[in-house]
Structure 1
């Protein structure tokens, strides 16, 4: 791959010494018959060959020199706006994510082209063109690693973002428009059976005998739910009974791991959340976008449909995620009682994939009951999400502030100062 220094040398070597304005004036003189191509090129200081190409029509006047851009200037401008929008809402984009989003734009324009991903050359040129709009900043090492406590800067930044969003969109008095979605997992296994001692010697369950199933639940601050999204590992269970036995209007999917991923989240948001959510707008959806990065289609649809996406800071779900602080623990306890597991040690439940949706349906009824609504509301209050209360978070969980270094949650892409953004556009 070409290095940045190599590209800089090539750029300096091939940098043109004439302006488009001079070329346009020379072209007018030639077309009016007052000058020849040679005379106009000498008078206005433009290359004779380039002027001749425009006179003959081989090159369209006003077109840029060099190879054609892989994505248009208009789409690149949208990509920059998208990056800044994501950074302001707690979704700082990495280099890999920007390149991935640009590749998606390119593939939409060139569906028959085999190119699957833009490369290092595109990224370096993009950085150079947009250096006035975006700035690159290394992520904090504390953010990358798992930490026992939560950075105070991360929590402060989240509440600043939340306060700005709530006030900008007038959501402070509308709990029905503030949603949180989160994922809870269930490890399934075989039922224990009483066998003779001889038969049990040396017996070990195979790894394939256990399946993982996760559920994406979504509630608003008023305690109202979006029907759950049940995700199976590796494949759906045989037969279609899992759909008829599950919670009403639930959505189903599968992944190799049994956890949600970017594609499944896109399916849930576009085909389920937007359909089931109330028609009032705007809506606020808070979730942990670090586990399953949002796709370009999700962000575009959210902005079009009046849904504001807000990302939680890393490793803060146990104190900032309303559903994690109360409802999920109650649901797992109830699920364990229904499966006869008691406390369900280590989160393992002795039922099969086919049986899961029926048992979970009975469990989920607790979430939609009067008691479940109270627990959900209490979770939003306990996290300080609604009513908005920064001081609701227990400082025992927070690490002390650091004078040096970037705040947790800072990104590789951060917005430039407002004065520069106002005056600058894609070059």
Structure 2
């Protein structure tokens, strides 16, 4: 149960629980009273006795948002929409596509195990740099095993033909200072997707993607899709690790092969990897994962094709459920009676089980502090969604014009601040004063190392998070430049937002 709830027990946990079980149930044991845990030899024999069901595994990191976001009602709602679409438009097997983005770097993300001298304190592996800039790749595949030519986005203002050397055939290249996918860049990819798939009224296409703003709030893509008979279906938020075919079978393998190509390159060329080597290294790794088997399996294990809403078991939803009141399984009463009769001392009355020692925790869902509405599975190209987006864009444009008019006027509100009953401004009034003064009198590009007012504004609004990379302000140790959107007041790294000069900043979500 702890493993299913993403709280898997370590070796130390098991040894400690074994000691407490023996002590509380009055079971004779040779365990150490000093360390209050069972010995390593006991754990080794315990795992050997149960080797058919137990093994030591390295877990995959899963955020609390993903663990709690994958719940039964979200998945059921998504499959309801998918089944209705399949019944209504009768999509053929080779007309169902999935698209996703992933970040690559000049530094390999994974280092393989190596054979080294026994007893050596530390074993090192060469990397091309301490930290590298982000390169985004956009991949897409369908249920029949066909792949759309990828897109590579370099963190540069201008391109070069040398950057394209060795890329997979048909790859398109785009450039942006941040290296992140932007709405206009995704529009360029979608135009290539239309040319590749050639959808028509008699042969429509279904495109499944995640809820990134460049997908869901991209009016150009929505209008183009409606015109070209492409239906776009958005996955529920925080469920892509389970529902997205590319995440299940392609992305992880791609990064593994890509890291191996970097390692081979470093050994062969004896120099650091640069942006001019990325296309060739990515091309070699991409050709290894661009297989029909991976594509077909990705759609099958997620239940997207063939459509199977019961592909996930009850165990997959346990992390998102509230188990504050533990319910005994069918085997627990029998287990209690068996151990009570066979292993406990005659004077023992109540048997203590592991869950009595270590309670099964319940994950708390993370509450958004950005004022956004929670997303959900929906058809992006539907008329209600299009009308809602057009209305939202119209309101944002009006706010943008109003902000520009206010910034053009001289600052007059900062000098008229209310005070508290003692004659001094309260903390809330100070916060409002700083925010009002900053928003109407100072540029929207903030340097956390030079401007004291910017630091106070960021700290008074809590631990700000970048809307692109979700990096926290409190964890910023490089003195990066931060910017705040003049409309929604959300923060972002200037590098992530592609800000090139100190001017009014409007984020992509509000444009």
Q: TM-score, normalised by structure 1?
A: 0.51
Please give the alpha-carbon distance, in whole angstroms, between the structure 1 residues aligned to 2:151 and 2:157: 15
Match of 1:358 among 257, 276, 280: 280
Please give the alpha-carbon distance, in whole angstroms, between the structure 1 residues aligned to 2:280 and 2:242: 31
Please give the alpha-carbon distance, in whole angstroms, between the structure 1 residues aligned to 2:277 and 2:82: 40
For the 8 Å contact 2:136–2:179, the answer to whether it is kept is yes
For the 8 Å contact 2:137–2:150, the answer to whether it is kept is yes
Deviations 1:309-358 (Å, cap 9, x if unpaired)? 0001101110000010011111111111111179xxxxxx9621110001
- Structure 1 position 391 matched with structure 2 position 314: no
Secondary structure at the aligned position of 1:361 is classed as: helix
Match of 1:213 among 135, 150, 153: 135
Please give the alpha-carbon distance, in whole angstroms, between the structure 1 residues aligned to 2:377 and 2:142: 28
Unaligned runs of 5+ in 1: 1-144, 191-204, 343-348, 417-427
- Structure 1 position 297 matched with structure 2 position 241: no
- Map 1:322-333 to 2 at 5 A: 322-333=245-256
Q: Larger helix proportion, structure 1 or 2?
A: 1
Secondary structure at the aligned position of 2:248 is classed as: coil
Please give the alpha-carbon distance, in whole angstroms, between the structure 2 residues aligned to 1:313 and 1:297: 22
For the 8 Å contact 1:151–1:408, the answer to whether it is kept is no
Match of 1:373 among 289, 292, 310: 292
- State the match for 1:40 in structure 2: none
Q: CA deviation at 1:391?
A: 1.0
Please give the alpha-carbon distance, in whole angstroms, between the structure 1 residues aligned to 2:165 and 2:272: 21
- State the match for 1:7 in structure 2: none
Please give the alpha-carbon distance, in whole angstroms, between the structure 1 residues aligned to 2:198 and 2:312: 29
Please give the alpha-carbon distance, in whole angstroms, between the structure 2 residues aligned to 1:284 and 1:410: 14
- Map 1:18-417 to 2 at 5 A: 146-149=65-68, 150-171=70-91, 174-189=92-107, 210-236=132-158, 239-270=160-191, 272-279=192-199, 281-292=203-214, 293-340=216-263, 351-368=273-290, 372-398=291-317, 399-400=320-321, 409=376
Q: CA deviation at 1:278?
A: 4.1
Q: CA deviation at 1:267?
A: 1.4
For the 8 Å contact 1:289–1:312, the answer to whether it is kept is yes
Unaligned runs of 5+ in 2: 1-63, 109-127, 266-270, 324-372, 385-511
- Taking a change above 3 Å as real, the CA distance of residues 206 and 378 of structure 1, as seen in their structure-2 partners, is closer
Please give the alpha-carbon distance, in whole angstroms, between the structure 2 residues aligned to 1:170 and 1:250: 30
For the 8 Å contact 1:151–1:401, the answer to whether it is kept is no
Report the number of matched residues.
Answer: 241
Please give the alpha-carbon distance, in whole angstroms, between the structure 2 residues aligned to 1:148 and 1:341: 36
Please give the alpha-carbon distance, in whole angstroms, between the structure 2 residues aligned to 1:263 and 1:415: 22
How large is the RMSD of aligned CA atoms in angstroms? 3.3
Deviations 1:50-71 (Å, cap 9, x if unpaired)? xxxxxxxxxxxxxxxxxxxxxx
Q: CA deviation at 1:362?
A: 1.3
Please give the alpha-carbon distance, in whole angstroms, between the structure 1 residues aligned to 2:144 and 2:377: 31
Deviations 1:112-136 (Å, cap 9, x if unpaired)? xxxxxxxxxxxxxxxxxxxxxxxxx
Q: Which has the higher contact order (CA 8 A, sep 6+)?
A: 1
Q: CA deviation at 1:206?
A: 9.3
Q: CA deviation at 1:394?
A: 4.2
Please give the alpha-carbon distance, in whole angstroms, between the structure 1 residues aligned to 2:139 and 2:94: 16
